[in-house]
Structure 1
């Protein structure tokens, strides 16, 4: 069986994701689609609106055959580490291709750009560092460095979020010489950061924005969501009592910061250049998460970067923790969240040839990354009422979902 990999977050699963699944199957000709999905917290430093198990059910019902979890240390990171963990996970489970959505839609632009970057890497790194020293954010400094080596926006726009992620996926495949063919399809009808819903295919950002305004699912959001996603959203809200957003964690992360010393804060991954002092100082009189981030945000420290830092504060993820995955040749395990009958057939033939353990619960391994995963899970469910927390934590040791 041939497998194609998808790198996803499904926050929540929407009609655009269903289109991606359909087109990926066509483009790859694969028998089995395998999604590596962020768990409790996401690449841009946000809590998932519903937990990974309900998102897994929605994905499996829509045509994904296997869902595996991207370890937390890779998931809440900038594009390069996020891509490294995602691509290495898919490689371990044996995909022959990956297919991602992009604003470009032309894979040759990604591979040609990679070749240019390899040839002019010294110039790129030199410009990047100069711009960072001038106080530019990493995305802006990187854009200017790409421009300096001839990767002009008019030819291949590396300011677009899906192009950025896609380029990172292609770099990971080629840097590690993996036997994976990268494929891309054009993202249609909406932009990644669109704030409003204008049709049946809308950005996850706009859908979450509408969901978090209401107690129930508004018609505008419902029109952009498959029926199974509607079911999983309502089921999770009924059982947990919440849809997750940063404001629900404000009191907890505020308590964490205000009871930590500057020295302890400085050990947290992403807290650099004296930022611990600014975080502590601004925390003294803020009343919401949104207000807090706005007070800290600068040209250099973007909203996304600060959200990631706050996730790491919440989970007590240190620079030392993250150091263990940088430049790692592979992920230490693959965690299975769910599968269909097709997915189970694929795993029955593949798992004996895997170089790392295939696990389905936090109780099955002793790797340090699993301890960090457990901490992330506890942090994620911490906002639930006491009588509900235990039931949701129990999911971490249950067998994988089968549909």
Structure 2
């Protein structure tokens, strides 16, 4: 059985995502398409537009299995985000990993990656020098790498993630074959709706109240968005979390050391900023600096609320939590050595360390529930049944 994987957020699932899933299946002739998807919080450090089960079920129009990415993985920088996901996919013995790229064709993308890998020692030395000057890692990495890249537009968020996927595959000596697919028309950074059929997730979220977004989404995805809005009357945003964060850091004075994305000195710095800024928007704007990017601060804030600590990166993950699946996934369930978690009772098979990771997933779901005003332990009440294959 040839297995194809996509590392995803689907926030929300749109026509571009559907195109990449179908194109990847066409290129690889894979028997099964697996998506490992961020849960309630996504990599840029933001709360997801709609709940993970609706996003997963929307993706099933062209996927066969959607598994949940543990929250501590989704809330990390690109290199660790990629590395931890590649580790899980390697354990699933995935054959292919497909991902979107932009501003560059597939051949040039691979050549650029190789040039950067060949010069990694020089790049890492320069990165250290820039960091010592108080620069953020993202900026230091860009300035250290740009001389080895012909196309400056290579450094988009999507391409940087794609680069880290390749790096993760190389460093883990994985047999996964990377399949880059050029995005059509829309760019990841686009804030406004442009083309007639394709739009970025950012532009859809920014125009979520515009009925025109229907043109950029598969019908099932559009229906799930409306269903979510009708149920809760609003879409959650990070500002709903800010008062919880201020309580923990200013009143409870919870220690920030060992929290993912933390760096020495950030605690005192953010305490000062949290005292000075009553709104989330002002807090992020006034906390962002040459040293600390807004995405890093957003990720740290949520990791702090969830108590996602650095030791989680050392745990050997031996389970996958299922969000949606069809009959094609049954063969994978029978073949894999990983534990399959569909219901709470399935966690009885997990060792104590993997139970910690599962509990962190539930904690993230409960934080999402706190924002929405829905019942806690939402995951325990979900009935995940086998779907019919669409391919």
**Shared fold per TM-score greater than 0.5:** yes
User: For residues 81-92 of structure 1, what are the structure 2 equivalents within 5 Å?
Assistant: 81-92=80-91
> Where does residue 79 of structure 2 map in the other structure?
80
1:12–1:204 Cα contact (<8 Å) kept:
yes
Tell me the distance in 2 between the aligned counterparts of 1:396 and 1:124. Answer: 47
1:267 CA displacement: 3.8
Q: How many equivalent residue pairs?
A: 380
Q: Does 1:187 pair with 2:173?
A: no
Instruction: Write the deviation string for residues 14-46 of structure 1: whole angstroms up to 9, x where unpaired.
Output: 111111122111221212211110001111101
Tell me the distance in 2 between the aligned counterparts of 1:250 and 1:363. Answer: 34
1:401 CA displacement: 4.3
> Where does residue 382 of structure 1 map in the other structure?
370
Tell me the distance in 1 between the aligned counterparts of 2:337 and 2:153. Answer: 37
Aligned with 2:333 (options 336, 351, 357): 351
Identify the range of structure 1 (111-120 vs 308-317) with the bigger mean alpha-carbon deviation. 111-120
> Where does residue 378 of structure 2 map in the other structure?
394
> Where does residue 360 of structure 1 map in the other structure?
342
Consecutive unaligned residues of structure 2, counting only runs of 5 or more, are: none
Identify the range of structure 1 (23-32 vs 117-126) with the bigger mean alpha-carbon deviation. 117-126
User: For residues 2-401 of structure 1, what are the structure 2 equivalents within 5 Å?
Assistant: 2-60=2-60, 62-104=61-103, 106-148=105-147, 151-154=148-151, 157-199=153-195, 200-211=197-208, 217-261=209-253, 264-322=255-313, 324-325=314-315, 331-341=317-327, 343-344=328-329, 347-348=330-331, 350-365=332-347, 366=350, 367=354, 368-385=356-373, 388-390=374-376, 393-396=377-380, 398-401=382-385
Tell me the distance in 1 between the aligned counterparts of 2:321 and 2:43. Answer: 18
Query: Partner of 1:402: helix, strand, or coil?
Result: coil
Instruction: Write the deviation string for residues 306-360 of structure 1: whole angstroms up to 9, x where unpaired.
Output: 11011112212223444x25xxxx633222211123x33xx32x33432321222
Tell me the distance in 2 between the aligned counterparts of 1:108 and 1:249. Answer: 43
2:362–2:379 Cα contact (<8 Å) kept:
no
Tell me the distance in 1 between the aligned counterparts of 2:233 and 2:380. Answer: 19
2:92–2:336 Cα contact (<8 Å) kept:
yes
Instruction: Write the deviation string for residues 53-108 of structure 1: whole angstroms up to 9, x where unpaired.
Output: 01011111x21111111111111111111112222222223321111110155444
Tell me the distance in 1 between the aligned counterparts of 2:225 and 2:319. Answer: 29
Query: Partner of 1:64: helix, strand, or coil?
Result: coil
Query: Partner of 1:223: helix, strand, or coil?
Result: helix
1:45–1:305 Cα contact (<8 Å) kept:
yes
Query: Partner of 2:372: helix, strand, or coil?
Result: coil
2:186–2:200 Cα contact (<8 Å) kept:
yes
Instruction: Write the deviation string for residues 144-194 of structure 1: whole angstroms up to 9, x where unpaired.
Output: 22235xx2242x744111111111111111221212111111112122111
Query: Partner of 1:163: helix, strand, or coil?
Result: helix
2:106–2:182 Cα contact (<8 Å) kept:
no
Identify the range of structure 1 (268-277 vs 43-52) with the bigger mean alpha-carbon deviation. 268-277
Tell me the distance in 2 between the aligned counterparts of 1:248 and 1:321. Answer: 26
2:76–2:260 Cα contact (<8 Å) kept:
no
Tell me the distance in 2 between the aligned counterparts of 1:40 and 1:119. Answer: 37
Instruction: Write the deviation string for residues 242-280 of structure 1: whole angstroms up to 9, x where unpaired.
Output: 31211222222222222233x712342223131111211
TM-score when normalising by structure 1 = 0.88
Tell me the distance in 2 between the aligned counterparts of 1:253 and 1:298. Answer: 20
Query: Partner of 2:135: helix, strand, or coil?
Result: coil
1:269–1:309 Cα contact (<8 Å) kept:
yes
